[in-house]
Amino acid sequence: MMKKINLFIIIGILLSSCETGDVMDRTIFIPDENDSQLPAYTEWGYNSFGAQYERNYFLASNQIVPCKMLYNNNQLQFSLIGTVNYGGNMTLSFIFPFAQISEYKDLVQLNKTEIDLSASDCTVKISENNNDTVLNILEGKLYFKRAQLLSIDDVVNRVILSGTFEFRFLQNDFPATMSNGRFDMGITKNVFYTN
């Protein structure tokens, strides 16, 4: 029932807008029923993400493009860009090996892919105030639960990537966590780059 209601919301927004792309690139925040500070897990391309970062929240914002991806040297970088409620912007980047791809449409290969973030060939980093910190991951995973093509008038418009993430890491020699992470991103050629 909730998915039907959400579909009607999207259709209504699209019909009321002259610029479909602009509307589809916005962040839509639908509160999670268990924790209203986090967005609900969705698979509609709402350009939303959220996670608990210790006792704070890391969330997508309409003022910042929430996701960018880079494919370089057989590695894929999946970056979530948003705000932390203690103030300021933050970028969380996951970098991991991935098969050769040449365009954003190839990201459908991520469907049902789980990445072990503690593996030696994975890197997780946080960027705040122009400072990059590579995290010492103790355990964690990034799960691309669903990767699907979205077509409008039989033309591929974007790849919708939806999934979850969580990890524990050492911060100043003390354990820290990023938990209850979820994302629902519409990836277009504007936010995907390859070298």
Domain containing 126: what range? 27-194
Would you say residue 103 has pLDDT above 90? yes
Q: How many CA atoms lie within 13 A of 127 on its CB side?
A: 11
The residues facing 42 across adjacent strands are: none
Judge contact between 178 and 59, C-beta under 8 A.
no
pLDDT at 73: 92
Residue 73 lies in a domain: yes
Residue 14 lies in a domain: no
Would you say residue 2 has pLDDT above 80? no
Residue 151 lies in a domain: yes
Would you say residue 110 has pLDDT above 70? yes
Residue 3 lies in a domain: no
Residue 164 lies in a domain: yes
Residue 111 lies in a domain: yes
What's the whole-number mean pLDDT along residues 52-77?
96
Quote the Cα angle for 125-140-79, to 5°: 35
Quote the Cα angle for 164-76-64, to 5°: 65
pLDDT at 51: 98
Residue 4 lies in a domain: no
Do you know the residue count of the chain? Answer: 195
Name the domain count of the chain.
1
